[in-house]
A and B are shown apart, each in its own frame.
Chain A
Amino acid sequence: MARYQHLFKRLAGSRWIQHLVFWGFSFLVLLKYFQLSSEVEPIDYVYTAFFHVSLIAGVYINLRILIPHFLQRKRILLFAVLFIIDLLAVSLLNVFIFTYLIDKLFPGYYFISYYSVTDILQFHFVYLVISGLLKLSKEWFGLLESKTRLAQIEKEKAHTELMALKSQVNPHFLFNSLNNIYSLSLKKADETPHVILALSDMFRYMIYEAGEDLIDLTKELEFLRKYIELQQIRNNPGVNITFEITGDPVGIRVAPLIFLPFLENSFKHGIKGDTAGGYVRCLIGIGKDDIHFRLTNNKGMKEHPGDEKGSGFGLENVRRRLDLQYGNHYTLGITENDEEFSVSLTLTKR
């Protein structure tokens, strides 16, 4: 059955078959229209077949020459003139066939050109217009299909890229977290079990929920809160970490883990390098139409000189994700001086 379906699909898609079906249908309709008495006579088949000669000539001149070379190249006026010439020429050909040619081809048979020139012009005009519209609509549908396919490919490509970028977040976060636990274990801190539990919650969120394109802002904020809490436990109590939220996050959707790389950077390159007097200030303001993310941290001393490559990795990643998921519906500003590093990200609400 599937084999026949495939065969039928291939046949239906064949241009030759489509044209044969069109002309076959045309033959049957005109045969019925041309029959002169109550029954279709054999001579009506001959007449209908010869009537199609000028129709076919006119239609293919229009389809193969006039439309592709003039109409589709926007030479409308020239197309209109040539269309009229084509119409007149094939109509006269029809008259010539039935007035002279058919007597030579079929001596002993009696045919005339049964229709007036006006009627013949109308016949040919209808065929030229219908076949032209069929061609244009077929090409339009083809173009639409290509565009849809292209959009689908783009979407799949973007999705694949997004997944790849997200998958890069996890190991990044994992390494940092393991470093945190390692630090706590060295101190034999009482908070270690609590930290492991919090990390477990965070990984659950990252693995099972952050795979979506968009997620509730409340969940994302809860995740960030846990992350900062862990950083507070890990770092010197003298370090100034603030995390403030203004506005109502309920019902707002946001790209998951979009803020995390900035926070990771701030802890890695700010506080980590300079715990004494270090600070991280994170403010998230939920406005009427936008979500404003402001992050400021001190620029600490680098633990490992030449680490710039690693530090830029997360930011490039998040910038690409922002492009893919927000397009031009976001603004990202990064400023830094000798003392401070600031990130300002505004996302249009989704």
Chain B
Amino acid sequence: MAFMFTLVAGCIPSLHPLYTDRDRKRMDVITGDWLSDDSSSMYRIMADPDEPSYVFTYTDLSRKGNLFTHDSSRADFIVNLVSLNGSDFMDFFPGDNDDLQNLNMLLQVHLIPAHTFAKFRVTQDTIIIWRFDPEWLEELFDENRIRISHEKMDDQIVLTASTEELQKFVSKYADDPAAYVEPEVLIRQR
């Protein structure tokens, strides 16, 4: 729940991914089932057999439904991993979700899928994930202290920077603690 909260509240959507095809990397140690440290959500990460990417399935355990069955408590993402300036990052992008497929066609064309990013560190038993802090970014934009291509739509900031620009930015400020919210810890389930 806590991670999902971060996932939603801490999202800074970007039109462009954080990786290029040649940047994507395999880290199969992240595959498996993972439980959030407050036991509110479950994650299954599987390697894509055809691409150097992963299918990231999230299930909200607080909702009723069967574990890893298709209902509104579940969401699939395509996750690509990229290393920038010594740190590892996940790029989240919506996968094949029944909920999305079942949407009204007119509604579907009004939705543009976006990328979100998070820094992570993985061991055999844990994955620590740091999401970018949207309040930090918003403050920087408001105070005119950051220069990155973006558009502000209503109250939502959408990054429009190119992949190259995003990579340079994330690389340069990867170690700035102010840029992230509290990390989430996922624990491997055996």
Cross-chain contact A42 with B144 (CB below 8 angstroms):
yes
Contact of A41 among B144, B161, B172 (CB under 8 A): B144
Contact of B147 among A38, A99, A110 (CB under 8 A): A110
Interface residues in A, total, Cβ within 8 A: 17
* Interface segment out of the listed A111-119, A207-215, A242-250: A111-119
Task: Kindly count the residue-residue contacts between A and B in the assembled complex, taking CB atoms under 8 Å apart.
Answer: 42
- Those of A11-58 within 8 Å (CB) of chain B: 36-38, 41-44, 47
- Those of B133-177 within 8 Å (CB) of chain A: 140, 144-152, 161, 164-165, 168-169, 172-173
Interface residue A251 (Cβ < 8 Å from any Cβ of B): no
Contact of A110 among B149, B151, B164, B173 (CB under 8 A): B173
Residues of A within 8 A of B173 (CB): 110
Cross-chain contact A111 with B151 (CB below 8 angstroms):
no
Residues of A within 8 A of B149 (CB): 36-37
- Those of A115-129 within 8 Å (CB) of chain B: 116
Query: At the interface, is chain A mostly helix, strand, loop or mixed?
Result: loop
Cross-chain contact A43 with B172 (CB below 8 angstroms):
no
Residues of B within 8 A of A310 (CB): none
Interface residue A108 (Cβ < 8 Å from any Cβ of B): yes
Interface centre among A99, A108, A109, A110 (most CB of B within 10 A): A110
Cross-chain contact B144 with A112 (CB below 8 angstroms):
no
Cross-chain contact A112 with B165 (CB below 8 angstroms):
yes
Residues of A within 8 A of B168 (CB): 112-114
Given the complex of chains A and B, what is the CA–CA distance between A108 and B146 in angstroms?
9
Given the complex of chains A and B, what is the CA–CA distance between A112 and B167 in angstroms?
10
Residues of B within 8 A of A38 (CB): 151
Cross-chain contact A114 with B144 (CB below 8 angstroms):
no
Given the complex of chains A and B, what is the CA–CA distance between A88 and B173 in angstroms?
26
Cross-chain contact B146 with A109 (CB below 8 angstroms):
yes
Given the complex of chains A and B, what is the CA–CA distance between A22 and B161 in angstroms?
30
Cross-chain contact A43 with B145 (CB below 8 angstroms):
yes
Cross-chain contact A116 with B164 (CB below 8 angstroms):
yes
Given the complex of chains A and B, what is the CA–CA distance between A111 and B149 in angstroms?
11
Residues of B within 8 A of A113 (CB): 168
Given the complex of chains A and B, what is the CA–CA distance between A110 and B139 in angstroms?
12
- Those of A306-330 within 8 Å (CB) of chain B: none
Residues of A within 8 A of B172 (CB): 99, 112
A36-B150, A37-B151, A38-B151 in contact; A110/B145 too (CB < 8 A)? Answer: yes
Cross-chain contact A43 with B151 (CB below 8 angstroms):
no
Given the complex of chains A and B, what is the CA–CA distance between A109 and B150 in angstroms?
16
Cross-chain contact A109 with B151 (CB below 8 angstroms):
no
In the A-B complex, the 4 residue pairs with the closest CB atoms: A110-B146, A36-B149, A112-B168, A43-B144
Between A and B, 19 residue pairs with Cβ closer than 8 Å are A36-B147, A36-B148, A36-B161, A37-B149, A37-B151, A38-B151, A41-B144, A43-B144, A43-B145, A43-B147, A44-B147, A108-B145, A110-B145, A110-B146, A112-B147, A112-B169, A112-B172, A114-B147, A114-B168
Q: A99-B172, A109-B146, A110-B147 are in contact. List 10 more A-B contacts (CB 8 A).
A: A37-B151, A38-B151, A43-B145, A108-B145, A110-B146, A110-B173, A112-B168, A112-B172, A114-B168, A116-B164
- A interface residues (Cβ-Cβ under 8 A, vs B): 36-38, 41-44, 47, 99, 108-114, 116
